[in-house]
Structure 1
Amino acid sequence: MIFTIKRFSELSTTELYQILQLRSEVFVVEQDCVYQDVDFKDQKALHVFGIKNDTIVAYSRIFKPTDYFKNASIGRVVVAAKERKYGYGHDLLKASILAIKKHFKVDKITISAQVYLKKFYESHHFIQKGEAYLEDGIPHIRMDRN
């Protein structure tokens, strides 16, 4: 899968629609979590996404330092349920980390990770910082990568 990186203003209406649909499908419906996904942070982010058969199936958004956390950050990491068995989550995270290095010229990254994905993020050299907390009713942990 080849990943594309675009600013908000560069996204086509079809790409934006597919991104929002994927995020809603997983974060709202699959995880049964009512929250405001459209948060006006997309305009600041760079959007990293992978397309398969003309459909966005993997997505994250990345932020430069101080736009979300003190460090650069990755958020809204999502892979369509039917595509998870192919390892696209690992490919997506690698692409997101490389995009931060390329576009923001930094190595330090902070994320707010769902607790159940701790081992996944640890496999990409993220380390838990602090205790778990609730974000939109779901247990999360802060994780850093240097």
Structure 2
Amino acid sequence: MIKWTIKTFEELTTQELYALLRLRSEVFVVEQNCVFQDMDNADQLALHILGYDDTLNNELVAYTRIFGPGIKFDMCSIGRVVTSSRARGNGTGRKLMEHSIATVEDRFGKVPIKIGAQQYLDKFYSSLGFQQSSEMYLEDDIPHIEMIREAN
């Protein structure tokens, strides 16, 4: 079972910050073999959604960061969507996105949400109500598309 926590940057403990940076590095840098500057000075402006798995000694297995309008895009956005390889295949990614969408709606109201998604995940994000809103572009040599989930 996943226990969800929502924190501002200032509320994160050093242990939580280390765990989220480690998870992002584990997946985005090592697993995806992509050298990029993950720490982009935007974490300080984000709400951080952390998912801990109580069956894995409360290990951080799921994470996103949420921005209000005007920070990353002109509308609210969800980024750095990541699940640990130890938590895939059981719906954790879907739960993470559903929790992130609910957090946006709780904090900002029923507003449009924009994401920059890896292109191969377009069907996953479409199943959550997101629609492609840009042509494919390369980000760190990985095909991406922008997607928007209209306010419901």
Shorter-chain TM range is over 0.9
Alignment of 1:62 with 2:66, yes or no, is: yes
8 Å CA contact 1:111, 1:144 repeated in 2:
yes
Alignment of 1:96 with 2:109, yes or no, is: no
Q: Deviations over 1:16-49 (max 9, x none)?
A: 0000000000000000000000011000000001
2:132 aligned counterpart, secondary structure: strand
Match of 1:138 in 2: 142
Structure 2 residues without counterparts, runs of 5 or longer: none
Match of 2:30 in 1: 29
Q: Deviations over 1:87-146 (max 9, x none)?
A: 100000000001001112242000000001101100100000121000111100000001
1:48 aligned counterpart, secondary structure: strand
Q: Distance in 2 between matches of 1:106 and 1:17?
A: 32
Matches within 5 A, 1:72-83: 72-83=76-87
Letter in 2 for 1:44: L
How far does residue 2 in structure 1 lie from its aligned partner after superposition?
A: 2.4
Q: Distance in 2 between matches of 1:120 and 1:103?
A: 24
Q: Distance in 1 between matches of 2:4 and 2:81?
A: 13
8 Å CA contact 1:72, 1:106 repeated in 2:
no
Over aligned residue pairs, what C-alpha RMSD do you find? 0.8
Letter in 1 for 2:132: Q
Instruction: Provide the identity percentage.
Output: 53
Q: Deviations over 1:53-74 (max 9, x none)?
A: 2211000000001111011000
State TM-score, norm by structure 1.
Answer: 0.98
Match of 2:19 in 1: 18
8 Å CA contact 1:71, 1:110 repeated in 2:
yes
